[in-house]
Amino acid sequence: MVKMLQCLVVLVSLVVSVHGLDNGLALTPPMGWMSWERFRCNIDCKNQPNDCIGEKLFMDMADRMVEDGFKDAGYEYVNIDDCWASKERDSAGKLQADPDRFPSGIKKLADYVHSRGLKLGIYNDFGTKTCGGYPGSLGHLEVDAKTFAEWGVDMLKMDGCYADVKTMPQGYPNMTKALNATGRPILFSCSWPDYERASKIQPDYKLIAKNCNIWRNYIDIQDSWDSVLKIIDYYAQEQDTLAAVSAPGSFNDPDMLIIGDFSLSVEQAKAQMAMWSILAAPMLMSNDLRTISPEFREILLNKEVIQINQDPSGKMGKRVMQTQSHMEVWTRELSSNALAAVIFSRSQSAPAIFETTLENLKFPTTSKGYSVFDVTDNKPLGNYALNETLSFIVNPSGAVMFKATPIA
């Protein structure tokens, strides 16, 4: 009987591993660049040759990532979002890039991106059409997975427009299998739970985490602070469910970084960077790296903040405090018993003093207290016992982020 049970356990674990995502990718949140938020579905290459969805845009961004320090800071993926494809599949039923905008084809573009030491991402849709109206993958999952692998694609974002949401818990895992079957490690980003949420279906995050490396949970980010706040609200509301599935290989995706675009102030940009870091979120910038101003570039390149985002624990932080003065504190457990915290301000008033102790933030007891480092402004703050008061000045719609390491 025991033998039979043991056999069953082995069999079940085999089936699970064969059916699950098996690519060894995204052990820390993926970092890179994605076209959608900043460049949308601009297909007018005649009038806007530098800003349209075409091969030049992605080559330009790859160049900037390498030459302006983004690659060295960890940004790796150059991701094509919607509107890259031709409206028709080719005679063999394969997706093909729009020939005018991608005259060299996606394979050549992948070669170029790889030659710069980066990786290429692409976009498709689970339904009959992409959200922008280009050919969907329904009925073509295997051939599309093979095509992407042949082209040398390294990441796939699969959207969920024009699809029956109820079929997603079977359908997305079919794409996982098709990607696994290609033998090429392709990071898989699923929009599946976002479409379930929109249809008032509770996502099965265990199943999602088994099949996807990252997944969108909530509405699209727009170029506005209000949009950033809405996403943070949703993460706070769902934090227990979402934090439970954040781990190496599987991360919640609150959508792109809009730092360096038109709407965020410098303080708001620091706040988005700090929040995405504490949430263990993918760091996918959507901005114009050719014209980004130095203060935003510096925020995106903040090594200390990136290091917290990339902490190998893969844990997502949670909101642990809200004050009457519109401040919130979010904390995240890091490896080696360290912790990170963000003091996030929703105030529309003046810079304000915020005081707390590590004890108040529920940091675990240590024999000698913690050494505290302000990662937003890159300066050591000294050693603190659990009950000692820490004092910060937090700007309106801004954030202060610090790391606390137990003193050995």
Residue 39, classed as helix, strand or coil, is helix
In the set 68, 220, 238, 333, which binds ligand GLA (CB under 6 A)?
Answer: 220
| Token duo for residue 278 | 């504490």
Active site residue 164: no
- 386 burial type by CB count under 10 A (0-12 exposed, 13-18 middle, 19+ buried): middle
Please answer whether residues 32 and 306 qualify as being in contact, where contact means their C-beta atoms are separated by less than 8 angstroms: no
Active site residue 311: no
In the set 76, 159, 196, 253, which binds ligand GLA (CB under 6 A)?
Answer: 159
Q: Which is nearer to ligand GLA, 160 or 317 (CB)?
A: 160
Alpha-carbon span 266 to 395, nearest angstrom: 11
Instruction: Indicate whether 196 belongs to the interface with ligand GLA (CB under 6 A).
Output: no
- Contacts with ligand GLA by CB under 6 A: the residue count is 9
Q: Which is nearer to ligand GLA, 36 or 225 (CB)?
A: 36
Which is catalytic among the residues 82, 125, 154, 159?
159
Alpha-carbon span 125 to 110, nearest angstrom: 20
Instruction: Indicate whether 156 belongs to the interface with ligand GLA (CB under 6 A).
Output: no
Instruction: Indicate whether 81 belongs to the interface with ligand GLA (CB under 6 A).
Output: yes
Alpha-carbon span 187 to 161, nearest angstrom: 20
Contact set for ligand GLA, span 30-49 (CB under 6 A): 36
Q: Which is nearer to ligand GLA, 36 or 151 (CB)?
A: 36
Residue 29: which of 228, 249, 207, 336 has the closest Cα? 249
Where does this chain touch ligand GLA (CB under 6 A) — which range of 125-133, 143-151, 239-247, 385-393? Answer: 125-133
Instruction: Indicate whether 281 belongs to the interface with ligand GLA (CB under 6 A).
Output: no
- 206 burial type by CB count under 10 A (0-12 exposed, 13-18 middle, 19+ buried): exposed
Establish how many alpha carbons lie within 13 A of residue 256's alpha carbon, considering only the half-sphere containing its beta carbon.
27
Our CA angle for 225, 313, 194, nearest 5°, is: 45
Contact set for ligand GLA, span 126-155 (CB under 6 A): 130-132
CB of 156 to ligand GLA, least distance (A): 12
Contact set for ligand GLA, span 299-328 (CB under 6 A): none
| Token duo for residue 60 | 């330009």
Residues 6+ apart with CB under 8 A from 41: 53, 82, 83, 132
Q: Which is nearer to ligand GLA, 135 or 369 (CB)?
A: 135
Q: Which is nearer to ligand GLA, 213 or 397 (CB)?
A: 213
Please answer whether residues 350 and 380 qualify as being in contact, where contact means their C-beta atoms are separated by less than 8 angstroms: no
Which is catalytic among the residues 60, 63, 111, 220?
220
Instruction: Indicate whether 261 belongs to the interface with ligand GLA (CB under 6 A).
Output: no
CB of 334 to ligand GLA, least distance (A): 29
Alpha-carbon span 399 to 209, nearest angstrom: 30
The residue ranges that bind ligand GLA (CB under 6 A) are 36, 81-82, 130-132, 159, 191, 220
Catalytic residues: 159, 220
